[in-house]
Structure 1
Amino acid sequence: MSNAAPANPADHALLRPRIVLPFLLTGMIWGSTWWVITDQIDGVPPSWSVAIRFAVATPAMFLLLLAMRKTLRIGRAGHWLALAIGVTQFCGNFNFVYRAELHLTSGIVAVLFTMLIVSNAVFGWWLLGQRITRNFVAGTLVALCGIGLLLWHEAGLNPLGGSIGLGIVWAVLGILCASIANVVQANTTGRSLPMVSLLAWAMLYGTIADLALAWWTAGPPVLPERPSFWLGIGWLALAGSVVTFPLHYTLVRQIGAGRAAYNGIVTVIVAMLLSTLFEDYRWTAWTGLGAALSLCGLVIALRARSVPTPPLGDAPLEKPA
């Protein structure tokens, strides 16, 4: 009788078509959204840009819910969860991200957001009891070195005492908000609800918070006339929100919040390419090394071992006996 541990589907979760296709699609779409956001905040208060985006996305999400014949009823606990997701993900996260892009190139903000893997795993360990592994820690340290080199380059262009430092602060706050939403939606209440039902209500609550924040911080609405803004709103609201969030949050339930955040690898490649083409991002030997280290670190973290259930960060330090 063999003593070998049975094969676990989680070992190759990212290789299955129903995982890898939405994984790549969300990464590619979100990679493009970082660049589109730069036009959204050109002459428009960031809070109003976010509010308009989700004012368009929310009705579309409810239409998707009805088209899929999912229920509108999510119960009291579901509404409290939707409120938490709406305030953190669709209000806090996006308002911080848009402000970060006032001070940093879109590609650099995308690189910073790869650290969502770290916060997802830490919050998952803290809130849901998921374990963190050696591969995850090693890969994270390598990625942090790479991100440090990229930020060092940015700081050379603008001292950290100026806008670059503020951009980093906004980005970190955005990461924390997104990570909280990623993890809490995978709790027992969230898993019992249809994904689109939970997201539709979360977007509605987030949109209400966005509108209130925009009016409070920037006054009456600002509605630009340029076509590029409204084309961007359409892409961000429909492709960047209605299409991607159901796919991404379903991945979180299937493979864990930490692994789902690995689509940041695809996102960074697309975002840095667009930043180079359209934002005149200049590569040097140091930034090339930083980008390479960031991606290598994420790949190292992907090397998971067997687990009894999909974890948030990676496989446990040791296989269960």
Structure 2
Amino acid sequence: MNLALYLTVVLIWGTTWIAIAMQRGPVAAPVSIFWRFALASSCLWLILVLSRTLKRLNRRDHLFCLLQGCCVFGFNFYCLYTAAAYISSGLESVIFSMAVLFNALNARFFFGQPLKPQIIGAALLGGCGILALFWRELCATSLSTTLPLGVGLCLLGAYGFSLGNMISTRHQRRGLDTLSTNAWAMLYGALVMGLIALLRGERFMPELNLRYLGALSYLAIFGSVIAFGAYFKLVGRIGASQAAYSSLLIPLVALTVSTVCEGYVWHPNAVAGLAMILAGNLVMFARPGRGVGAAE
């Protein structure tokens, strides 16, 4: 069962990046995000209501669900959808894996958890990895502002996702039901993105073609409802640290898909950069005094 859940998370989240790229076009990013999480929250709400497992929350918990929705199901995806216009989906997933490092820093800031001794090494590996990953582009004489913008948006999205994880940690410490808080957070995230789209005067009509609607359905049902459900179930079975090892394999899946679908070319510097970023993530999960592969 654990292996099935693990593979579900890796394969689904490793392929959602190309689905995000497939939604690029005339539909504005806030509108695409609105439809994604409106559909996802509707499905999750239906499941919880029919199974009678939806838990009530107080006003303060609803406020934190609103913040979680903005961080995890709203603005971070706004950054990622926008960045998809500047860099490939596979590279987005690699940069987004830096959320592991942001989690450690935010846990220290918000909960006073001590920083692991290896965090400096992980940060250096991650930073050098991103530099190596885009070395060819950085050395190009015609370098424009789009590449730094794409990388910056991915990092900003990863940090927003990390903030959402801190709110989820707060929920769990209070003993709140994860699926119930996710259902509310998805709903709030969809409403906030819908409000932004409305204020900007965007059209809410999605593209009525197989490419867009197929990507939307995959992101909502598989990427949001099923993958999040599998991930949190895995966390409950084997612990958060071991479940987080999925972040080591998701970029590999995403880059493989990007190679096939987007023509991503593997240069030596890209291979070295990917290796350093994944090594940095692996270092984050190691216990001091034990092998790098030791999980907490």
CA pair 136-68 structure 1, distance change in 2 beyond 3 A: farther
SS at match of 2:208: coil
Match of 2:170 among 166, 177, 187: 187
SS at match of 1:125: helix
SS at match of 1:185: helix
* 1:34 and 2:20 aligned: no
Match of 1:291 among 274, 280, 290: 274
Identity, in percent, stands at 29
* 1:216 and 2:190 aligned: no
Unaligned runs of 5+ in 1: 1-16, 307-313, 316-321
2:81 alignment counterpart = 98
Per mean C-alpha deviation after superposition, the further-off stretch among 20-29 and 42-51 is 20-29
CA pair 248-77 structure 1, distance change in 2 beyond 3 A: farther
Unaligned runs of 5+ in 2: 290-294
CA pair 260-180 structure 1, distance change in 2 beyond 3 A: farther
Question: Aligned ranges for residues 101-250 of structure 1 at < 5 Å?
Answer: 101-156=84-139, 161-187=144-170, 191-217=174-200, 219-249=202-232
Per-residue Cα deviation, 1:99-134 (whole angstroms, up to 9, x for no partner):
011111001111101100111110011111222212
Shift of 1:67: 4.0
Q: Distance in 1 between matches of 2:172 and 2:64?
A: 8
Matched AA of 2:163: I
CA pair 190-219 structure 1, distance change in 2 beyond 3 A: farther
Q: Is the 8 A contact 2:101 2:281 kept in 1?
A: no
Shift of 1:145: 1.6
Q: Is the 8 A contact 1:195 1:250 kept in 2?
A: no
Q: Is the 8 A contact 1:97 1:170 kept in 2?
A: yes
* 1:48 and 2:35 aligned: no
Q: Is the 8 A contact 1:142 1:296 kept in 2?
A: yes
1:88 alignment counterpart = 71
Q: Normalization by structure 2: what TM-score?
A: 0.89
Q: Distance in 2 between matches of 1:128 and 1:203?
A: 24
Q: Is the 8 A contact 1:110 1:268 kept in 2?
A: yes
Q: Count matched residues.
A: 290
Q: Is the 8 A contact 2:31 2:204 kept in 1?
A: yes
Q: Normalization by structure 1: what TM-score?
A: 0.82
Q: Distance in 2 between matches of 1:278 and 1:189?
A: 39
1:14 alignment counterpart = none
Q: Distance in 2 between matches of 1:141 and 1:84?
A: 30
Per-residue Cα deviation, 1:172-230 (whole angstroms, up to 9, x for no partner):
22111111001111115664111111111111111100111122235221321211111
Matched AA of 1:137: I
Shift of 1:143: 2.9
CA pair 158-35 structure 1, distance change in 2 beyond 3 A: farther
CA pair 28-53 structure 1, distance change in 2 beyond 3 A: same
Q: Is the 8 A contact 2:86 2:147 kept in 1?
A: yes
Matched AA of 2:16: T
Q: Distance in 2 between matches of 1:222 and 1:152?
A: 40
Q: Distance in 2 between matches of 1:54 and 1:275?
A: 24
* 1:76 and 2:59 aligned: yes
CA pair 68-304 structure 1, distance change in 2 beyond 3 A: farther
2:247 alignment counterpart = 264
Q: Is the 8 A contact 1:113 1:264 kept in 2?
A: no
